[in-house]
A and B are shown apart, each in its own frame.
Chain A
């Protein structure tokens, strides 16, 4: 169905090709998963499938891309619209109309499909993706999962043979991601659609993949293979695979279900010792909220949240999209005025403190990291951060090099990949070393390597007496790094306690290791390895 034949893509003005000598085929009806580091060229590969590269982006494409027998050299993206459906990283930015139904019909209108066929297909798609309840709703009023499903539906109504998705679940909470993946699964199984999908969150998708396309970036060759084979040696792997490797299971399980069936022996081996979790000793109180109420117009975002966070803690803030996580973080830095109640950060009232002094008390990396970046190059950005926070020149750059060693200093921050941009924003805020550090969804678009480095830095900060609060949907990261978890629902704090207590029991928030080894209280592969060491 899709055939890449010695494809090399070089963007205008780039020194090195973004993709080099890529050859692979994806047969009809397969779900192919594209993996690779942040910024390694996954998006370029996806966009080459429907001809956006090079027709839309410019640059040179050598070699040949065939989709359903059509050569993208001769067909522009719009001429391939009936064969390839494309869903971008941010569904909101690709919406052309304003309601769900109109959005679903848009591509068919462009293709000139007859009105009665259109009507039928829209109804079918609404049912297929479970969108019938929201058919009249404005797109802006949808939840993240509904938006993503609408975007998929909009690409599907023209009955393409190939569906291309760029990180469809990375911005979604676990439940919404399940919805989207279930819908995709249905398309592949029932309709025989060929799906090509890039995703960092391997733990969510690897079990559904029929084929893995690894884009290592740089000059290394792109390779393909079966998921189970690739995972044996892959440098990055989801926890279920790492646990399988640790326990020496063969064949390597890719889903929690398979692993659980293989894990009976491991569970009895681990039965006795309990993993020891010792955090840094807790220090002074760095964040404090009392009966915090925040509302936007008639919508109440937070209703009576009280909490206290001490130095040395790493707190994970979890909950659905729209549960009030960002609002809570924003109130702690004084961006949002509370309707009643108080919020204080490192002992100061953020609403009444001058920004210059406030940044020495609390730092926030916002959900859109680009908002923090003003300079024309990465190097300038680092220099201006040094002067903003009055730290010795070069501190920001040193941090950036630890987080993302491969960022070119002369690039424009907007040209970085999403993950790299986040690393830059993180470095900018971290170089002020505020006692209280807040991170709003720091793991979106990060690959495993960058996550591992982020975890190391956060632990270091906590040990040095900082308090860290991060809002995230990434349960594996929470299991790895958090000492305490708070779950928000509908603006209220519904649970607050030690990580193991809060997440292990919850079906949605439990990490893979906890699901495999339940009822044993293990959360990460590291803990299991340690326990095995002690046992032997």
Chain B
């Protein structure tokens, strides 16, 4: 067996595989409002993250997304309580003082009766969104954003470099801001002003970008782009259109905003356009790549696990299997067998993805 196919030989998994798996889990979450399934999906992604994340700075983003999810739920529930009507049910929980609104706002009610049905529905809806957010968080935590950008096709290389530079500069701006604020004390100033805070930070950032540009120029960046301008623009346009098509298709599939054939068509057309443009763009790029991330058995297994989880949910939803959507807000949520088994398959990456090198785990002091 080739070394890259070993499941236990330490190496970093292809970031694209992590993203595909996480997106599949998000698709699975988008098909249900059953709290049991949602919590199960969250548990599965959380377990995989804790099993396979590194100690790098971005690896903490799962917790950040978890907090964001809780905030989403809280906002949703509070708004529902304020704007609740009796349309969803009649189980009265408590009554808020009602605020009279002018005539033009007829139909909107602020305060008043709050029903259990309304709150529980809000909780489940918010929960779905929160779990999907956490899936994105899991991808962020597991895959280094830079490695993902590195595996971009050659035609998108310039865009990738711009993103990498931005990724370096954003945290640098925060540290600079802190340092400049501290330095203001040294001049005996207490009040912040644009001139004493933003200016030094921006000037510093500008200086650094010029330095970086000089360094990149000296190191041969942009040496090989010799395609005619018109062709370059056409490729870029095709890539963007393709990505737009993919985006539209995925969005439509996730939200039922469009009929299935149309959504699938948009997705397919987008993929086709993007792949074609990248193939054309690739020809003019004569740069090479150092140790590209391999795509081997572990990557296939991770993606397949995600696909099984998403597939099980989508098929269950299309077939109308009981338990994906609740009969009413206040019933005890059922536990449908097929979706549960499907989601549990999503756990496979915790074993199928190779462990990280130990040196990477303790790289950051």
Q: Which of B164, B189, B196, B218 has the most CB of A within 10 A?
A: B218
Q: Is the CB of A81 within 8 A of B212?
A: no
Q: Which of B187, B220, B288 is in CB contact (< 8 Å) with A81?
A: B220
Q: Which residues of B contact A105 (CB under 8 A)?
A: 290-291
- As a 0/1 sequence over residues 277 to 292 of chain B, the CB contacts with chain A under 8 angstroms (1 = contact) are 0000000001111110
Question: What CA separation (Å) do A520 and B161 show in the bound complex?
Answer: 58
Question: What CA separation (Å) do A84 and B188 show in the bound complex?
Answer: 46
How near does chain A come to B318, taking the closest CB pair, in angstroms? 43
Given contacts A330-B182, A374-B200, A414-B207, contact A112 B190 (CB under 8 A): no
Q: Which of B67-75, B331-339, B355-363 contacts A (4 or more CB under 8 A)?
A: B355-363
Q: Which of A50, A93, A370 has the most CB of B within 10 A?
A: A93
Q: Which of A94-102, A182-190, A462-470 contacts B (4 or more CB under 8 A)?
A: A94-102
Q: Is the CB of B363 within 8 A of A141?
A: yes
A154 on interface, CB distance cutoff 8 Å: yes
- As a 0/1 sequence over residues 164 to 186 of chain B, the CB contacts with chain A under 8 angstroms (1 = contact) are 11001000000000011011111
Q: Which of A16-24, A171-179, A310-318, A353-361 contacts B (4 or more CB under 8 A)?
A: A353-361
Q: Which of B183, B189, B211, B359 is in CB contact (< 8 Å) with A94?
A: B211
Q: Which residues of A contact B213 (CB under 8 A)?
A: 56
How near does chain A come to B194, taking the closest CB pair, in angstroms? 10
How near does chain A come to B113, taking the closest CB pair, in angstroms? 48
Q: In chain B, what residue has the closest Cβ to A110?
A: B220
How many residues in A have their beta carbons less than 8 Å from beta carbons of B? 73
Q: Which residues of B contact A79 (CB under 8 A)?
A: 223
- As a 0/1 sequence over residues 62 to 104 of chain A, the CB contacts with chain B under 8 angstroms (1 = contact) are 0000000000000011111110111010100111111001100
Q: Which of A80, A102, A112, A373 is in CB contact (< 8 Å) with B224?
A: A112
B86 on interface, CB distance cutoff 8 Å: no
Q: Which residues of B contact A137 (CB under 8 A)?
A: 359, 363
Q: Is the CB of B290 within 8 A of A335?
A: no
Q: Which of B179, B186, B291 has the most CB of A within 10 A?
A: B186
Q: Is the CB of A86 within 8 A of B185?
A: no
Q: Is the CB of A429 within 8 A of B186?
A: yes
Question: What CA separation (Å) do A56 and B214 show in the bound complex?
Answer: 7
How near does chain B come to A504, taking the closest CB pair, in angstroms? 33
Q: Is the CB of A366 within 8 A of B223?
A: no
Q: Is the CB of B204 within 8 A of A370?
A: yes
Q: Which of B146, B179, B217, B365 is in CB contact (< 8 Å) with A368?
A: B179
Q: Which of B186, B288, B359 is in CB contact (< 8 Å) with A115?
A: B288
Q: Is the CB of A93 within 8 A of B212?
A: yes
Q: Which residues of A contact B164 (CB under 8 A)?
A: 96-98
B216 on interface, CB distance cutoff 8 Å: yes
Which residues of chain A in 43-62 are interfacial with respect to chain B, using CB atoms and an 8 Å cutoff?
47, 50, 52, 55-56
How near does chain B come to A123, taking the closest CB pair, in angstroms? 11
Question: What CA separation (Å) do A12 and B168 show in the bound complex?
Answer: 31
Q: Which residues of B contact A356 (CB under 8 A)?
A: 188, 190
How near does chain A come to B11, taking the closest CB pair, in angstroms? 11
Q: In chain A, what residue has the closest Cβ to B209?
A: A93
Q: Is the CB of A90 within 8 A of B211?
A: yes
- As a 0/1 sequence over residues 13 to 33 of chain A, the CB contacts with chain B under 8 angstroms (1 = contact) are 000000000000000000000
Q: Which of A77, A373, A374 has the most CB of B within 10 A?
A: A374
Question: What CA separation (Å) do A282 and B118 show in the bound complex?
Answer: 77
Q: In chain A, what residue has the closest Cβ to B150?
A: A102
Q: Which of B179, B216, B223 is in CB contact (< 8 Å) with A96?
A: B216
Number of A-B contacts (CB under 8 A): 173
How near does chain A come to B25, taking the closest CB pair, in angstroms? 27
A284 on interface, CB distance cutoff 8 Å: no
Q: Is the CB of A78 within 8 A of B220?
A: yes
Q: Which residues of B contact A140 (CB under 8 A)?
A: 364
Q: Is the CB of A388 within 8 A of B218?
A: no
Q: Is the CB of B218 within 8 A of A86?
A: yes
Q: Is the CB of B215 within 8 A of A93?
A: yes
Question: What CA separation (Å) do A330 and B212 show in the bound complex?
Answer: 29
B341 on interface, CB distance cutoff 8 Å: no
B233 on interface, CB distance cutoff 8 Å: no
How near does chain B come to A2, taking the closest CB pair, in angstroms? 15
Question: What CA separation (Å) do A95 and B165 show in the bound complex?
Answer: 10
Question: What CA separation (Å) do A435 and B190 show in the bound complex?
Answer: 21
Q: Is the CB of B214 within 8 A of A52?
A: yes
Q: Which residues of A contact B223 (CB under 8 A)?
A: 78-79, 81, 110-111
- As a 0/1 sequence over residues 123 to 142 of chain A, the CB contacts with chain B under 8 angstroms (1 = contact) are 00000000000001110110
Q: Which residues of B contact A97 (CB under 8 A)?
A: 146, 164
Q: Is the CB of A354 within 8 A of B186?
A: no
A220 on interface, CB distance cutoff 8 Å: no
Q: Which residues of B contact A208 (CB under 8 A)?
A: none
Q: Is the CB of A373 within 8 A of B56?
A: no
Q: Which of B196, B215, B286, B290 is in CB contact (< 8 Å) with A374?
A: B196
Q: Which residues of B contact A432 (CB under 8 A)?
A: 188
Q: Is the CB of A78 within 8 A of B222?
A: yes
A489 on interface, CB distance cutoff 8 Å: no
B199 on interface, CB distance cutoff 8 Å: yes
Q: Which residues of B contact A76 (CB under 8 A)?
A: 217
Q: Is the CB of B290 within 8 A of A119?
A: yes
Question: What CA separation (Å) do A141 and B365 show in the bound complex?
Answer: 7
B256 on interface, CB distance cutoff 8 Å: no
**Contacts A98-B168, A356-B188, A432-B188 given; 20 further ones with Cβ under 8 A?**
A78-B222, A81-B223, A84-B218, A95-B168, A95-B215, A96-B215, A107-B219, A107-B220, A110-B222, A112-B286, A112-B287, A114-B288, A118-B290, A136-B359, A137-B363, A158-B220, A330-B182, A372-B186, A385-B187, A428-B187
Q: A-contacting residues of B (Cβ < 8 Å)?
A: 56, 146, 150, 161, 164-165, 168, 179-180, 182-190, 195-196, 199-200, 203-204, 207-208, 211-224, 286-291, 357, 359-360, 363-365
A–B Cβ pairs within 8 angstroms, 22 of them? A47-B214, A81-B218, A86-B218, A86-B219, A90-B211, A95-B215, A96-B216, A96-B219, A105-B291, A106-B219, A108-B288, A111-B220, A111-B287, A136-B357, A137-B359, A364-B186, A366-B179, A366-B182, A372-B183, A374-B200, A388-B189, A389-B188
Q: Which 8 A-B pairs have the closest CB atoms?
A: A81-B220, A94-B215, A105-B290, A110-B220, A371-B183, A359-B188, A86-B218, A93-B211
Q: B-contacting residues of A (Cβ < 8 Å)?
A: 47, 50, 52, 55-56, 76-82, 84-86, 88, 90, 93-98, 101-102, 105-115, 118-119, 122, 136-138, 140-141, 154-155, 158, 299, 330, 333-335, 354-356, 358-359, 363-364, 366, 368, 370-374, 385, 388-389, 414, 428-429, 432
